[in-house]
Every structure is written in structure tokens, then in C-alpha cells.
Amino acid sequence: MSAVASRREVEVCLGQAGLKLGTLVYTRQGQRQNSAFAYEQTWLRDAEHFNVSADLKLDPGYQFRRAPSPHDSVFHGAIADTAPDAWGRRVIARDHAKRRREDPSLSALTEMDYLLAVDDFSRIGALRLRDDEHRYHRTAEEGRRSTPALIELERIYHASRAVERGQETADDLRYLRGKGTSLGGMRPKCTILDEDGTLAIGKFPSVQDARSVTRGEVLALQLAQRAGIDAAPARIVQLDDVPIAVITRFDRDAGHARIPYQSAASVLQASRDEDRSYTEIADALRSIGYDPIPDIRQLWRRLVFNLLITNVDDHLQNLGFLHTAHGQWRLAPAFDVNPFPDKERESKTWLSEDEGPITDIAMLLARCSDFALDQQQALAVLAEVHAAVSDWRTLARSPAVGLRASELDDFAPAFEHDQMEAAGRSLG
Ligand SMILES: Nc1ncnc2c1ncn2[C@@H]1O[C@H](COP(=O)(O)OP(=O)(O)OP(=O)(O)O)[C@@H](O)[C@H]1O
Ligand SMILES: [Mg+2]
């Protein structure tokens, strides 16, 4: 038998105090890799204990994990939720490749390296990773701030843009290293400290964009609020002619404390290769929800909104849960909500196992009772969402969003379509 090629152990801690929850071990042998997590006895006995991830039961001993498909993480759900996705991995990999050219003795990156490359200050949720010398992964180099202030957006944007184009310098990469560029998601982004010191995400235009995606996202998030949805506060910060979407982080409280987070994918223990449904999420809320009925109704409201603005990128990493206390969770504010004018109006996450993807208002109305709404209540929600979406042009043209009249045509098919008409007809 060949020896284990790579094995790395880290402590998993919780919150600002860094309470040790357990131990995470990653092993890799050739192409085979797995991870294992064990809770600390002290955590299992703690009066405040809860399972930080739906797939990590509050039991003693190691719990093993192998990725169920090549598209899934080798780590348990809530740990994987803190790992970088396409964009963050790209920044980390480019940086590593450049350093490896200078020092060929550096070994190839493992999944654990990616997980540990996320800066501790801005890691999503409340989980933190620490080595046996009590150093958090990763912490900024001596004398450097890990999370830049809003004023540095321009520098980050230009460095990120260079990475997208494959033209970055070693200096760009050194600058970006640990700058919260390692967040999840596909699109170029970073973490920043907003003017009032709160943690925020900056999302940049991408070189591949055919329209103003950042203004579109701010429009969608602000419109969501008008439609009665609890959505992450978002605004445009303009750098010369570049609109950056600045979105407040919801996984920190007013005192900057870290709030435990799990994506819907983690809560459902879903593989990226599976089709899962909103009725399962409603059921999950019924069992682990802090205040299930308002959250389940809120979920239905979001489904209506997503359909009416053609937000069809509703995969299970784009919906989240925040921990309240004692293993009870509430829906996180809506985030990553975008109009997709060029896409077919079909949700990624299914309505239910039987019905498949959401494609029309009639199927949402037919299923409202699964979301704790009778027909009359559902129509009242639909009326509010429909009214907000009908007025999208006013908000789009407002200084807060700043779309030009000529740009509205790019977005119109997302907001003006047969399902808006069908919704209008249902309302009589
Ligand atoms: N306001 C927020 N507060 C806390 N965490 C957030 C917030 N917005 C996003 N996140 C986290 O950051 C991740 C990436 O953000 P987001 O989904 O907006 O990026 P994206 O690149 O557009 O994603 P996608 O790959 O789905 O297009 C999310 O999956 C979520 O874990
Ligand atoms: Mg996303």
C-alpha cells in the first residue's frame, strides 16, 4: 500500500472568541481524497452546542466525508460553504502558479490549501480554521490589513480585472492575496470595509459581461426590498465610469460578531448534481426553523419574485440560513439575485419533486398551501410583488441604480413578459 501523500489537520473554531469545536483532517492519496471531522468533547457537553452543519451530527468520534460527485466538495457542508468557488480559486491558483515558478519545490495546491487560503477576518459565517500553534487561516502578513477600506476598491478592481484577462503582475497578486478575493461564487469580487466599518462585498463588472450586471444586481436587490423581501442592502459605488455593487454582509451582527451560516445545499445535504426542491427547503424550515411559518411564506414570496424578474440562477448555494440559538435557523436575507433577460424563465431549484422547475405563476399559486399560505394570502403576496416589479423602470433610472434609458432595453425581457401578464390576470 502506498503511503498517504498528503495529510493535514486543523482545528475548527467558532465565532470571535474562537471556541474550539472540533478537528478537521484532510487526506489525499493520488486522486483519492477525503476529510473527517470530530467534535470536541467540550463542545458536545456545552449547553450552547448545536450541529454547525446538517451533515455533522452531535456525536463523538470522526465523521467522514468523500465528495459524492466530482462537482462537490470534499468537506462537510458548512465548512465547504466557507471555501472559495470559481473566482476565488482562480485568484489563489494564479498566485500559487506564479510563486511555484520562482520556487519549484512548492507542491501543487490541494483542496485543503484552497480552504485555508480564505482570509479569516472575512470568512463566511462563524467557522474559523486554526493550526496547532493557534494561528488562524489565513491571517494577513505582518503589517498588512487583510480587508481593505472602500477607498481601495479601485486598486482591487484593477488587479482583479488583470487576473480576469490573465495579465496580472506579481504585484497585483501579492496585493490581492488574502483580500477577501477568496469568497465563494463565480463572479469577480472582494470583501471590503464599508465607510461605517461594516463588512461588505464588492462585486465587479466582469470582462465577459454583455450588460451592466452590477447595476442589474443592485436593481434586483432593491426591488426585492420593495416587494417585501428581506434582501441584503446593496448600492452602486461608482469608480470613474465603473459601477461596483457594494452589498452589506449579513453574517456579522452590529457588534461585528460572526453569525453561523449554512447554504441551502448544506441544509439539504444536496450534491451539486442533484435536482432538489423548494418544498424540501420548506420542510427543513419546519424542522430546524427558529420561526418557520414567516420564513416559509417569505420563501414563497421570493419564488414569485424570482420568476417575475427572471432570476434563474437560484442554485442551492444562492440561498442561506443563519443560526439563531440551540440549533434553530432562519432564512438569511436574499443575495445574488439578478435579472437574466437572455435566459429562459425556468428555476434551477425545483418547486417540488413532482413538478420540476418553476416556469409559471399558476404552478406557484397551485402549491401555495405547501408554503403556509391560503389562496387569498397568496394572491395578496403576489399583488405586492407584482406591483413592485411593474415599477422596475423607475427604480432602474433612479440615481441609486443609475441605469441609462438606453440600457433599460437590455433588461426589459427579464421584467416584462407573459408571466407578468399572467400574474396581472390572476389578480383580476
Ligand atoms: N450579503 C452577503 N452576506 C454574507 N455572505 C454573502 C453575501 N452575499 C454573498 N455571500 C456569500 O458569498 C458567496 C458568493 O456571493 P454571490 O453568490 O453573490 O457571488 P456570485 O459570484 O454571483 O455567485 P454565483 O456563482 O452563484 O453566480 C455566496 O454563495 C454566499 O456564501
Ligand atoms: Mg452566488
Any domain includes 230: no
Closest ligand 1 atom to the C-alpha of 124?
5
For the beta carbon of residue 38, count every other beta carbon within 10 angstroms.
18
Residue 74: per-residue pLDDT: 98
152 lies in the same domain as 89: yes
33 lies in the same domain as 159: yes
47-104 pLDDT, tens digit per residue, is: 999 999 999 999 999 999 999 999 999 999 999 999 998 888 998 999 899 889 999 9
165 lies in the same domain as 80: yes
Q: Which of 212, 218, 217, 203 is nearest to 241 (CA)?
A: 212
User: What percent of the chain is modeled with pLDDT above 90?
Assistant: 84
Q: Which residue has the higher pLDDT, 145 or 399?
A: 399
266 lies in the same domain as 198: no
Q: Which residues contact 221 (CB under 8 A, 6 or more apart)?
A: 231, 232, 233, 234, 247, 334, 335, 337
The residue nearest atom 7 of ligand 1, judged by CA position, is: 249
Q: How far is the C-alpha of 385 from the C-alpha of 420, rounded, in Å?
A: 10
Decide: 317 in ligand 1 pocket, CB within 6 A.
yes
Q: Which region among 66-75, 165-174, 326-335 has the lowest average model confidence (pLDDT)? A: 165-174
Q: Which of 286, 267, 311 is nearest to 370 (CA)?
A: 286
The yes-or-no verdict on residue 4 having pLDDT over 70 is no
Any domain includes 255: no
**Cα torsion for 265, 271, 273, 274, to the nearest 10°?**
-70
Decide: 335 in ligand 1 pocket, CB within 6 A.
yes
338-391 pLDDT, tens digit per residue, is: 999 999 999 999 999 999 999 999 999 999 999 999 999 999 999 999 999 999
Residue 237 three-state SS: strand
**How far apart are the CA of 88 and the centre of ligand 2, in A?**
12
193-216 pLDDT, tens digit per residue, is: 999 999 999 999 999 999 999 999
Would you place residue 1 in the very low, low, confident or very high pLDDT band (cuts 50, 70, 90)?
very low
203 lies in the same domain as 270: no
191 lies in the same domain as 267: no
181 lies in the same domain as 278: no
Helices (H), 152-212: 153-165, 170-176
Residue ranges making up the domain that contains 114: 6-209
6-51 pLDDT, tens digit per residue, is: 899 999 999 999 999 999 999 999 889 999 999 999 999 999 999 9
The yes-or-no verdict on residue 322 having pLDDT over 60 is yes
**How far apart are the CA of 312 and the centre of ligand 2, in A?**
12
Cell triple for 140: 494577513
Cell triple for 19: 471556541
Residue 237 · residue 218 · CB < 8 Å: no
- Structurally, the chain folds into a number of domains equal to 2
Q: How far is the C-alpha of 98 from the C-alpha of 271, rounded, in Å?
A: 33
Residue 148 · residue 190 · CB < 8 Å: yes
108-155 pLDDT, tens digit per residue, is: 999 999 999 998 999 999 999 999 898 999 887 655 666 888 888 898
Domain boundary among 173, 190, 209: 209
286 lies in the same domain as 366: yes
Cell triple for 201: 462585498
Residue 139: per-residue pLDDT: 82
Q: How far is the C-alpha of 364 from the C-alpha of 171, rounded, in Å?
A: 51
324 lies in the same domain as 190: no
For the beta carbon of residue 33, count every other beta carbon within 10 angstroms.
18
Would you place residue 172 in the very low, low, confident or very high pLDDT band (cuts 50, 70, 90)?
confident
Q: Which of 150, 160, 162, 149 is nearest to 204 (CA)?
A: 160
Decide: 21 in ligand 1 pocket, CB within 6 A.
no
Residue 381 three-state SS: helix
Q: How far is the C-alpha of 373 from the C-alpha of 92, rounded, in Å?
A: 46
257-295 pLDDT, tens digit per residue, is: 999 999 999 999 999 999 999 999 999 999 999 999 999
Would you place residue 183 in the very low, low, confident or very high pLDDT band (cuts 50, 70, 90)?
confident
Any domain includes 173: yes
Q: What are the residues whose beta carbon lies below 5 Å from ligand 2 (ion)? A: 185, 318, 336
Domain boundary among 209, 224, 242: 209
Q: Which residue has the higher pLDDT, 219 or 98?
A: 219
Residue 3: per-residue pLDDT: 56
Would you place residue 180 in the very low, low, confident or very high pLDDT band (cuts 50, 70, 90)?
low
> What residue type is 409 in one-letter code?
D
Q: Which residue has 451530527 as its cell numbers?
A: 57
10 lies in the same domain as 158: yes
Cell triple for 187: 463572479
The yes-or-no verdict on residue 217 having pLDDT over 80 is yes
Q: Cis (ω within 30 of 0) for the bond into 138?
A: yes
